Structure 1
């Protein structure tokens, strides 16, 4: 095997992997698009299976401009969901010393903990 054979193999491998990444990105975009009907999704999927290179090029030309918008909307939804989750977890577990003492007092009043346990929780919250 010569140097040029190895170089050719590396180039072909790079192009093939780049094409696969493009194909997976297009398939993800097809199924993420809420405006595209089920028949449209099925049509694009069949077209991508039967004539993958031609279908990819046509998809990028016809719908490529909105791909970035859909990707950004998806990322924004993921960030908002993560922020909501963080706020929910932080809101129930923290809230400062005053809320921790109030929670401990509520547990004491309900009989869930003893006076000694309440004092321990109060000292930890104030420390």
Structure 2
């Protein structure tokens, strides 16, 4: 087996992996799409199983734009969810007065000592 044969095999392996990835992505999109009813999903799956390459090409032509829109909507929802989580974890004490009031609440609860409270107050005021 020469170097050219090796390159041809690598090309075929690459094409097989790409085809499998495209089919997986199309199946994920079919079942993620809420605008398709069950019968339409079943017909697309049957079409992709019987005529895989033709079915994939037709699906990408017919529904490729909506695939991108659904993926963008999912990405926006995930970004919004992550931003909400970060805001909730970050806390609300962004001003010195808020930090001092949180430290006072910890002191009143007995979580920290007076020396720790004074240290936190000095940091907040600095």
Measured against the shorter chain, the TM-score band is: 0.7 to 0.9
| Structure 1 length-normalised TM | 0.81
Taking only aligned residues, the RMSD between alpha carbons, in angstroms, comes to 2.1
Task: Tell me: CA distance 1:96–1:45, structure 2 relative to 1, closer, same or farther (3 Å).
Answer: farther
User: What is the count of residue pairs matched by the alignment?
Assistant: 126
Structure 1, gaps ≥5 residues long? none
Question: Residue 102 of structure 2 corresponds to which residue in structure 1?
Answer: 103
**Secondary structure in structure 1 of the residue aligned to 2:112:** coil
Question: Residue 125 of structure 2 corresponds to which residue in structure 1?
Answer: 126
Question: Residue 65 of structure 2 corresponds to which residue in structure 1?
Answer: 65
Question: Residue 37 of structure 1 corresponds to which residue in structure 2?
Answer: 37
Task: Tell me: CA distance 1:111–1:2, structure 2 relative to 1, closer, same or farther (3 Å).
Answer: closer
Superposition pairs of residues 3-42 of structure 1, within 5 angstroms: 3-42=3-42
Task: Tell me: CA distance 1:123–1:6, structure 2 relative to 1, closer, same or farther (3 Å).
Answer: same
